[in-house]
Amino acid sequence: MAAKKQAKKELTIEEKLTHLYKLQQTLSEIDRIKTLRGELPLEVKDLEDEIVGLKTRLDKFTEGIKELETTVTGQKAKKENCLTLIERYKKQLNDIHNNREYDNLSKEIEFQGLESEFAEKKINELKERIEKKQEEIAELQKNYDERKIDLEHKNEKLESIVEETKIKEEKLLNRGKKLENNIEPRLLHAFERIRSGALNGLAVVYIQRNACGGCFNKIPPQKQLDIRLHKKIMICEYCGRIIIDPAIAGIKEEEVVEEKGRGRGKSKSKSKK
């Protein structure tokens, strides 16, 4: 067991860089899957929150209408009571014995008439408020129904994409975990730190046209030689990414521009001769 653990720790720089690049490729593929899903998860969450808000407002409006209808019922009862009293007082006018009784009954009839009119006015106002709230409820209900349909469509789309990519993503995650086990913790931590700070998630890049494959700043020839020798892990002095030899990435060496320049120089010298 001790021998196995020791063997793990004694990986060459080239092997370490190979594991890092393979891990980078795996995580980049997972990133592409997440990009494929796009903003759908966030859109679904926003729609769910909006629907909850609309439902809460609908419930409040419905409750408000019930309260108004209860008040209308009370005002109608009050009006009926006023009209009943007016009828009774009018009948009593036929049996009065003096002017004082007549004045008192007349005042009571007038008062109950005003109360009846006030109740009628209140009923009409309440009905208008109910109608307005019903219009608002209809508009809210329309928005609520439309958002629910939108949510169903987006959920179906999201589920379809997740279903299509689920198996592939699981395989990639398992591959990534296995690769992480082959990388020493200190180096893995540095890789994760660099990756989290990079906009495109690239922590490991290879030389492209004598430049860093991440930020595309030129790499001095001596540093390029050190990278190709695999003697130590090299970091880009501009973007902080780990730079590797294209050969480790399985990329064929591109022709160097200087070679073309040398070719032109030879042709000139021949012409002079």
At residue 94, the pLDDT reads 83
For the chain, which residues make up each domain, given as ranges? 2-33+184-258, 38-179
| Rounded Cα gap, residues 136 and 133, in angstroms | 5
> Lowest-confidence range among 17-26, 29-38, 178-187, 262-271?
262-271
Three-class DSSP category at 220: coil
Angle of helix 99-181 relative to helix 13-37, nearest 10 degrees? 150
Q: In what order do the strands lie in the sheet with 204-206?
A: 204-206, 242-244, 234-235
Q: pLDDT averaged over the chain?
A: 86
**How confident is the model over 192-230, as pLDDT tens digits?**
999 999 888 999 999 999 999 999 999 999 999 999 999
Please report which helix (H) or strand (E) contains residue 79, including its range. Answer: helix 40-92
Q: Which CATH architecture has domain 38-179?
A: Orthogonal Bundle (1.10)
- With a threshold of 0.85, does the pTM exceed it? no
Reduced DSSP (H G I as helix, E B as strand, rest coil) percent helix, strand, coil of the chain, to 5: 75, 5, 20
Q: Is the pLDDT of residue 262 over 90?
A: no
